[in-house]
Amino acid sequence: MTSALPYSKPDDNTKLTIYPDYCHTLSPTIGKWVPLRARDVHVLKQVGAFCEQRILWHFNNHPIKWVKVTGVVVAVDEFKEKRIYTLDDSSGFCVECTTIAPPEAPSTIVDMPKHLNQLAAIGAQAAKVEQEERREGKVKLNAAAVRDRHDKKEGEKKTPSVQEPIVPWEEVDVGCVVKIKGKVHRNWRDEMQVEIVKVEVIKGLDAEVKAWNEVREFRDSVLGKPWVVTKEEEDRCRKIRERELRKSQKRAREEKGKGKDKSSSERRETEHQRGRERKDKQLERPLKRDEYFSGEIKKRKDLERVQTLDGAVKRRKETDGESLGSKNKINYPSLAVRKAAAGKYDALGI
């Protein structure tokens, strides 16, 4: 193990700018496995920022989502549903790295009964074991299933996560040097821990020195300096985020409008269907006495209305016949002139 790196605690008195999340695309640490020491993990601070419904930790003003720590496993604590590896990197602090408990292969050995009816006893014992497993609500995998789950075929990629980490369970033990990648969280004792996503066993002094040099170089080049974003870059990132929000809102309104149009058309169709059903029911049922006479009165009124309209149309046609067309009005005198002339001639006896 190499000597401890010089430690420089983040200066709390220095006023550092915490940039909003739309500037994180410019961050040199947000999308990387940040190599840290155990001491650096314990000095990460919370500034009220969140990412993917998790706390987004900051080192100085650098947002950190994933971390990578290297050290010697000094303790292994096994529990029913999780396992904790305590890592020491000679920085003056140890860090606990938690992961889910490894799957256990069930015991397939069945005790041989001593009486003669061996097959019946074996079947009854197997049924009893299966019933107990169902009662507990736990599915136990056999050894072949465990190997297929954790030892993928060559060429097949597996995306590790906190729920399904990649851990060489048989190789990791007290005294071995490992490189652990994971996410930082704070436990119920207000202590910083690393949730394991992937564990890699470091074999050889050269690989260990290379890991420590990576931590030193990244600290000197990135973490040792404050993250600075210019005003122009911040405005550009803000405009990009606003544009994305407008597009998402427009898309949501369009989807909502499509759903509303579909619901309104379905509503109209339902109303038409109900109206047709009501008309069919009215036609099917027999008419009562009052309804019959009221129908006769309605028919009589409709007939009178039609006759009145026909007479009005006929009179309008007769009246229009007395007048001339628009084209012949120039060649002939008006109707008033002709009537006056006719009266004059009648007075003269012509």
pLDDT, tens digit, 9 for 90 and up, residues 120-136: 666 677 777 766 766 65
Determine the number of helices (DSSP H) and then strands (DSSP E) in the chain: 7, 9
pLDDT at position 61:
87
pLDDT digits (tens, 9 = 90+) for 193-226: 999 999 999 988 899 999 999 999 999 999 988 9
Q: In what order do the strands lie in the sheet with 54-59?
A: 45-51, 54-59, 62-64
Rounded mean pLDDT, 304-314? 74
d(CA 295, CA 301): 10
- Residue 293, in any domain of the structure: no
Query: Where in the sequence is the domain holding 333, given as residue range(s)?
Result: 298-350
φ, ψ for residue 180, nearest 5 deg: -115, 130
- Do 203 and 348 share a domain, yes or no? no
Predicted TM-score (pTM) of this structure? 0.55
Rounded mean pLDDT, 67-75? 93
d(CA 211, CA 208): 5
Structurally, the chain folds into a number of domains equal to 2
- Residue 10, in any domain of the structure: no
Domain boundary, last residue among 212, 229, 246? 229
Q: Residue 196 is part of a domain; what is its CATH number?
A: 2.40.50.140
d(CA 196, CA 180): 7
Domain boundary, last residue among 196, 211, 229? 229
Rounded mean pLDDT, 266-271? 78
pLDDT at position 267:
77
Q: pLDDT-derived band of residue 336, with 50, 70 and 90 as boundaries?
A: low
Q: pLDDT-derived band of residue 47, with 50, 70 and 90 as boundaries?
A: confident
d(CA 233, CA 26): 9
- Do 220 and 303 share a domain, yes or no? no
- Residue 114, in any domain of the structure: no
Domain boundary, last residue among 172, 195, 229? 229
- Residue 3, in any domain of the structure: no
Rounded mean pLDDT, 3-25? 64
Rounded mean pLDDT, 46-60? 81
- Do 323 and 212 share a domain, yes or no? no
Q: Which range has the top average pLDDT, 101-115, 153-167, 281-295, 308-322?
A: 153-167
- Do 72 and 151 share a domain, yes or no? yes
Output the CA torsion 37→196→204→89 (10° steps).
30
Rounded mean pLDDT, 147-158? 55
Q: Which amino acid is at 127?
A: A
- Residue 87: which H helix or E strand, with range? strand 82-88
Rounded mean pLDDT, 91-105? 86
pLDDT digits (tens, 9 = 90+) for 238-265: 999 899 888 888 888 888 777 666 667 7
- Residue 267, in any domain of the structure: no
pLDDT at position 143:
44
- Residue 289, in any domain of the structure: no
Q: What is the mean pLDDT of the chain?
A: 76
- Do 80 and 160 share a domain, yes or no? yes
- Residue 162, in any domain of the structure: yes
Q: pLDDT-derived band of residue 301, with 50, 70 and 90 as boundaries?
A: confident
- Do 213 and 327 share a domain, yes or no? no
- Do 98 and 215 share a domain, yes or no? yes
How big is the CA angle at 119 (ends 116 and 122), to the nearest 5 degrees? Answer: 110
- Do 78 and 214 share a domain, yes or no? yes
- Residue 202, in any domain of the structure: yes
- Do 66 and 158 share a domain, yes or no? yes
- Do 207 and 323 share a domain, yes or no? no
Q: Name the residue among 349, 14, 73, 38 with its Cα closest to residue 201.
A: 73
- Do 216 and 335 share a domain, yes or no? no
